[in-house]
Structures are given as structure tokens and as C-alpha cells.
Amino acid sequence: MTLQEFLERIAEVEARAESLISSASSAAELEAARTSLVGRKSGALSALMKELPSLTPQDRPEAGARVNQVKVAVEDALDTRTLDVTGRQATGQSVDLTMPARRSWKGGKHPVTLVIEEIEEIFRELGFTIALGPEAETEWYNFGALNFPAEHPAMDLHDTLYLEDSVLLRTHTSPVQIRTLQNFKPPIRILAPGNVYRRDFFDASHAPVFAQIEGLSVDEGVSFVDLKATLTRFANRFFGTTRTRFRPSYFPFTEPSAEMDVECQICKGRGCATCKNTGWSEILGSGMVHPSVLEASGVDSERYTGWAFGMGPGRIAMQRFGIPDIRILYDSDMRFLEQLAE
């Protein structure tokens, strides 16, 4: 065969391919076209390739290159058209309908979210409403209105992250107390969950971002008895009947202040590494709302009193699920999360 004839035959196949492919309207027709054009045994292009040896050695490279070029173009056109017609990639293989399906991937709630929701539920039963506040706060809401004196060393404890002059990432959820008191008249009972930020290094018991839940109850005649009764009730609902204790403490925004411990849930009070052998685990800070906090928020402190608390649901989740290192809560390790997800 001469080169001229060979090239003419390729051109014919090319033209036929074009009309076959563009007029095909089903996967089956395209499969038939594929067989007749590039099929290994009877395809027109394969047949032409077998003719190559009949050309002179000088003509073979050009003829070979051309036939290959057309073959690639035809295969591309077949794939594209198949995609159009069936809406999925041509694999050259049929689908095995008997193959078992892949197990679907089920998401779940993070242990800290589960704990927050459970705490919300208990306080909802006790008449509390959920309130939220911004994570970027002004110094006044985060410190000033909460009775931190300017330059007070207590602010160092919070080792703060500033965004600009007097705006910072809130170091606690307590500013939501102020925002609520400014906007609503007592009686007030709110629960304010949310993230807070500290310039802390990650270690087994610290994280620079963590969740807190603030609680606030303000009305006429509210006393420390209400604080103790409500928080003890909460602990017994959440952990099951358990021992609790209050220890005197200090916060600028409460007077008097107390921290509440529950029996360490990991060792049941016997003493272990997690509770540093004390048998107790601190779950919250609390106290009677300082009169200056009420006044700063525009509430008459002669008429109203209140109590407040702040707790760390991360710590509580660690107690509940027996998690020894806080970093596990941030690792996104599916092997851990799957054990607790609901």
C-alpha cells in the first residue's frame, strides 16, 4: 500500500468515527462504535495498524504517527460522548450490581457538645433560658463591668488575646451576664454557653480555646441558699447521686465566692492521678453577684440580688467519659470520637 492510500483510508475512518459518535444516543450504541473503530480484533483503526508493515520503511513513521493520533482522538471522543449520554465516566467495565455497598459514614456530636446539651436540658427544667454573647468583647464587658479594677493583676490570670485597642477575645462567658442584665428586667435566669480564649499553652489540662457555660439568676430576695440548692441539684442530676462540696474562693464579680467540687468520678473519691489524689474534681466557680456588677449593668442592687456560676464543660466531659488528657478533645481522632458519638 502506498502512503497516499494509507492516509486516505485513515481519513475515511476518521470521518466515519465522527458521524458514528455524534449520532450515537445510548451507551450500547457507543460500545458498538468503539468496537467497530478501535476494537482490538475487528476495529477499523486496529486493522490499519496491521497494514503498517506493508508500507516502505521510510513511510512507516508518518503513517504510524497519524494512525495513533486518530486513535487517541477517537477514544477521547468516545469517552466524552459516553459521559454526555450516561452522565458518568466510561470505565470500559460494566457495574457489578451485586457488590455490597460501602458502609455510609455517620457523623456524630462531639463529647463536649453532648455535655453542653445535657447541662442545658437540666437547667432548662430549672427555669433557665439560653443566652448568647459575642466572642470578641470590649474590655469593659470582659473586665470593667465585672468589677476588675483597671490594671488589676487578676487580668494577668486571663493572659488575654487582644484584637485591637480595647477589643479582645473574651476570656470568659461572664460578659454575657452584663449584656443580659442591660437588656432584660429581673427575674432573670439564663445559661450562656460559648467559647472563650486564653493565652495558654496546650498541655494535659489547658487549651487556648475552650468552652464555658455561664449561669445567672437575679431577682428580689435571691440568696446563697438558692445557689447551693440549684447547683447541688444540678450535680446530682448530671452525675447521678454524688457528693459535692463548696470551698470559699475569690472572683472580682462575686461576693462571697465559692468553688464547687464533685467527687472525682474516675476514682469515686478514692484519689487518682486525674484528681491529683484529692478525691475531688472542681467543676465550677460561683458566688453572689457583686453589687457593683448589678449597678454597672443598670440594676438596682438595693432591690435585687443574684448568684452566678461559670463552669468548664470540657473538664466535665473528661470526668464523665474518663478522659485523662484535654488535648484528646481537640485532636479530631476518629477512633476516639467514634467511641463517644451519639
Listed ranges 16-24, 117-125, 306-314, 331-339: which one lies at the site for ligand DAH (CB under 6 A) = 306-314
Piece of 1-9, 28-36, 302-310, 314-322 that binds ligand DAH (CB under 6 A): 302-310
**How far apart are the C-alpha atoms of 227 and 223, rounded to whole Å?**
7
Nearest to ligand DAH by Cβ — which residue?
A: 310
Of positions 283, 304, 309, 317, contacts ligand DAH by CB under 6 A: 309
Nearer to ligand DAH among residue 111 and residue 215 (C-beta): 215
Angle among Cα 336, 341, 342 to the nearest 5 degrees reads: 165
Q: What is the smallest separation between the CB atom of 316 and ligand DAH, expressed in angstroms?
A: 14
**Which cell numbers hold the place of 292?**
457593683
First-to-final CA distance of the chain: 74
Smallest CA-to-CA distance from 195 within 299, 80, 110 is with 110
What is the smallest separation between the CB atom of 117 and ligand DAH, expressed in angstroms? 20
What is the footprint of ligand DAH within residues 180-239 (CB under 6 A)? 214
**Nearest distance from C-beta of residue 204 to ligand DAH, angstroms:** 19
Q: Pick from 111, 133, 252, 285: which binds ligand DAH (CB under 6 A)?
A: 285
Regarding 308 and contact with ligand DAH (CB under 6 A), the answer is yes
Which residue(s) pair with 196 in the sheet? 210
Q: Using the minimum distance from each CB to ligand DAH, give the nearer residue, 194 or 287.
A: 287
Shortest reach from residue 212's CB to ligand DAH, in Å = 6
Dihedral of alpha carbons 213, 214, 219, 224, sign: positive
The dihedrals phi and psi of 125, each to the nearest 5 degrees, come to -60, -30
Assess 251 for contact with ligand DAH (CB under 6 A): yes
Distance separating alpha carbons of residues 171 and 209, to the nearest angstrom? 9
Smallest separation (angstroms) from ligand DAH to the CB of 229: 16
Determine contact, residues 40/50, Cβ cutoff 8 Å: no
Contact 190, 180 (CB under 8 A): yes
Torsion of CA 252, 257, 259, 260, to 10 degrees: -140
Nearer to ligand DAH, 286 or 319 (CB): 286
**Continuous segment of H or E residues that includes residue 245:** strand 244-251
Q: How far apart are CA 79 and CA 81, in angstroms?
A: 5
Size of the site for ligand DAH (CB under 6 A): 11
Among residues 186, 193, 310, 314, which is the contact residue for ligand DAH, using CB under 6 A?
310
Cell 469515686 appears where?
268
Nearest approach in angstroms of CB 340 to ligand DAH is 25
- Quick one: which segment of 56-64, 269-277, 284-292, 293-301 binds ligand DAH (CB under 6 A)? 284-292
Q: Does 175 bind ligand DAH (CB under 6 A)?
A: no
Stretch that binds ligand DAH, among 26-34, 53-61, 112-120, 305-313 (CB under 6 A): 305-313
The C-alpha atoms of residue 43 and residue 35 are separated, in whole angstroms, by 6
Nearest approach in angstroms of CB 285 to ligand DAH is: 3
Contacting ligand DAH within 20-59 (CB under 6 A): none
Round to whole Å and give the CA distance between 243 and 269. 9
C-alpha grid cell for residue 227?
Answer: 445557689
User: Which residue among 9, 172, 290, 320 contacts ligand DAH (CB under 6 A)?
Assistant: 172
DSSP designation for 107: P
Footprint of ligand DAH (CB under 6 A): 172, 174, 214, 251, 254, 285-287, 308-310
